[in-house]
Amino acid sequence: MSSTLPNPVPAVSPGSEEFWAATAEGKLLLRHCDDCGTPIWYPRPFCPACGSLNTSWFEASGRGTVYTFTVVHRSGVPGYRDALPYVVAYVELAEGPRVMTNIVDCDPDQVTVGMPVRVVFHDTGQGNALYRFQPDPSAGADR
Protein backbone atom coordinates (compact mmCIF):
# COMPACT_ATOMS: atom_id res chain seq x y z
CA MET A 1 0.00 0.00 0.00
CA SER A 2 0.94 3.63 0.31
CA SER A 3 4.02 3.16 2.46
CA THR A 4 5.61 1.06 -0.26
CA LEU A 5 4.95 3.36 -3.22
CA PRO A 6 8.16 4.32 -4.99
CA ASN A 7 9.23 7.96 -5.01
CA PRO A 8 10.51 8.49 -8.56
CA VAL A 9 12.61 11.59 -9.02
CA PRO A 10 10.95 14.15 -11.30
CA ALA A 11 12.98 15.10 -14.37
CA VAL A 12 12.75 18.81 -13.57
CA SER A 13 12.52 20.83 -16.78
CA PRO A 14 12.95 24.54 -17.50
CA GLY A 15 10.07 26.51 -16.06
CA SER A 16 9.30 24.12 -13.21
CA GLU A 17 12.40 24.46 -11.00
CA GLU A 18 10.66 26.59 -8.35
CA PHE A 19 7.66 24.29 -8.22
CA TRP A 20 9.82 21.29 -7.39
CA ALA A 21 12.09 23.18 -5.01
CA ALA A 22 8.99 24.22 -3.03
CA THR A 23 7.88 20.62 -2.62
CA ALA A 24 10.97 20.03 -0.45
CA GLU A 25 9.55 22.65 1.94
CA GLY A 26 6.11 21.08 1.97
CA LYS A 27 4.55 23.65 -0.33
CA LEU A 28 2.35 23.00 -3.32
CA LEU A 29 2.72 25.89 -5.74
CA LEU A 30 0.32 26.80 -8.51
CA ARG A 31 0.95 29.15 -11.36
CA HIS A 32 -1.56 31.84 -12.13
CA CYS A 33 -2.02 34.39 -14.86
CA ASP A 34 -1.06 37.96 -14.01
CA ASP A 35 -3.41 39.25 -16.70
CA CYS A 36 -6.61 37.22 -16.30
CA GLY A 37 -6.01 35.66 -12.86
CA THR A 38 -6.72 32.07 -13.90
CA PRO A 39 -4.87 29.35 -11.93
CA ILE A 40 -2.78 27.28 -14.35
CA TRP A 41 -2.26 23.49 -14.27
CA TYR A 42 0.04 21.78 -15.08
CA PRO A 43 2.40 24.65 -14.21
CA ARG A 44 3.76 26.46 -17.25
CA PRO A 45 4.97 30.01 -17.89
CA PHE A 46 2.04 30.59 -20.23
CA CYS A 47 -1.67 31.08 -19.65
CA PRO A 48 -3.75 28.67 -21.74
CA ALA A 49 -6.87 30.62 -20.79
CA CYS A 50 -5.89 33.92 -22.43
CA GLY A 51 -2.54 33.36 -24.15
CA SER A 52 -0.59 35.63 -21.81
CA LEU A 53 3.10 35.06 -21.13
CA ASN A 54 2.84 36.95 -17.80
CA THR A 55 2.45 34.38 -15.03
CA SER A 56 3.64 33.86 -11.45
CA TRP A 57 3.57 31.38 -8.58
CA PHE A 58 1.29 31.24 -5.55
CA GLU A 59 0.88 28.67 -2.81
CA ALA A 60 -2.10 26.35 -3.04
CA SER A 61 -4.18 25.33 -0.04
CA GLY A 62 -3.30 21.69 -0.52
CA ARG A 63 -6.93 20.69 -0.06
CA GLY A 64 -9.31 19.16 -2.51
CA THR A 65 -11.64 16.29 -3.36
CA VAL A 66 -11.25 13.15 -5.43
CA TYR A 67 -12.56 13.83 -8.97
CA THR A 68 -11.95 10.27 -10.13
CA PHE A 69 -9.65 7.35 -9.31
CA THR A 70 -8.63 3.86 -10.30
CA VAL A 71 -7.23 1.04 -8.20
CA VAL A 72 -4.34 -0.37 -10.19
CA HIS A 73 -4.09 -4.17 -9.86
CA ARG A 74 -1.68 -4.87 -12.72
CA SER A 75 1.23 -2.58 -13.50
CA GLY A 76 4.39 -2.65 -15.52
CA VAL A 77 5.79 0.51 -13.97
CA PRO A 78 9.10 -0.08 -12.16
CA GLY A 79 8.68 0.37 -8.42
CA TYR A 80 4.91 0.63 -8.66
CA ARG A 81 4.55 -2.94 -9.85
CA ASP A 82 5.88 -4.03 -6.47
CA ALA A 83 3.31 -1.88 -4.63
CA LEU A 84 0.03 -3.32 -5.93
CA PRO A 85 -2.72 -2.44 -5.48
CA TYR A 86 -2.32 1.33 -5.50
CA VAL A 87 -4.56 4.27 -6.33
CA VAL A 88 -4.08 6.72 -9.21
CA ALA A 89 -6.48 9.66 -9.08
CA TYR A 90 -7.31 13.14 -10.22
CA VAL A 91 -7.80 15.42 -7.24
CA GLU A 92 -9.77 18.61 -7.76
CA LEU A 93 -7.88 21.27 -5.83
CA ALA A 94 -9.83 23.90 -3.91
CA GLU A 95 -8.34 26.38 -6.40
CA GLY A 96 -9.98 24.59 -9.33
CA PRO A 97 -7.43 22.49 -11.23
CA ARG A 98 -7.75 18.70 -11.36
CA VAL A 99 -4.35 17.21 -10.65
CA MET A 100 -3.10 13.69 -11.32
CA THR A 101 -1.68 12.05 -8.20
CA ASN A 102 -1.86 9.05 -5.86
CA ILE A 103 -4.22 8.61 -2.92
CA VAL A 104 -2.25 7.28 0.05
CA ASP A 105 -2.69 6.41 3.74
CA CYS A 106 -6.01 4.81 2.88
CA ASP A 107 -7.25 1.31 2.00
CA PRO A 108 -7.75 1.45 -1.81
CA ASP A 109 -11.22 0.00 -1.34
CA GLN A 110 -12.19 2.99 0.80
CA VAL A 111 -11.45 5.65 -1.82
CA THR A 112 -14.56 7.30 -3.27
CA VAL A 113 -15.30 10.05 -5.78
CA GLY A 114 -15.85 13.28 -3.88
CA MET A 115 -13.78 12.22 -0.86
CA PRO A 116 -12.04 15.20 0.81
CA VAL A 117 -8.24 14.93 0.69
CA ARG A 118 -5.19 16.97 1.65
CA VAL A 119 -1.69 17.02 0.26
CA VAL A 120 1.25 15.10 1.74
CA PHE A 121 4.81 15.17 0.44
CA HIS A 122 7.01 12.13 -0.12
CA ASP A 123 10.71 12.92 -0.23
CA THR A 124 12.57 11.70 -3.31
CA GLY A 125 15.94 12.18 -1.63
CA GLN A 126 16.97 14.45 -4.50
CA GLY A 127 15.94 17.85 -3.20
CA ASN A 128 12.25 17.57 -3.97
CA ALA A 129 9.16 15.59 -3.04
CA LEU A 130 6.10 14.07 -4.67
CA TYR A 131 2.72 15.66 -3.93
CA ARG A 132 0.29 12.92 -2.98
CA PHE A 133 -3.04 13.12 -1.18
CA GLN A 134 -4.48 11.43 1.91
CA PRO A 135 -8.00 11.46 3.38
CA ASP A 136 -8.74 14.76 5.10
CA PRO A 137 -10.76 14.06 8.26
CA SER A 138 -10.85 17.77 9.15
CA ALA A 139 -12.85 18.55 6.00
CA GLY A 140 -15.93 16.86 7.45
CA ALA A 141 -15.59 18.77 10.73
CA ASP A 142 -15.79 22.07 8.87
CA ARG A 143 -19.32 21.42 7.72
Contact residues toward another protein (CB under 8 A) are 5, 8, 10-16, 38-51, 53, 67-77, 79-81, 83, 86, 88-90, 96-102, 113-114, 130
From 32-40, 60-68, 97-105, 107-115, span contacting Zn ion (CB under 5 A): 32-40
| Distance (Å, whole) CA 135 – CA 132 | 11
Nearer to another protein, 89 or 141 (CB): 89
Strands 29-33 and 39-40: antiparallel
Listed ranges 25-33, 73-81, 83-91, 95-103: which one lies at the site for Zn ion (CB under 5 A): 25-33
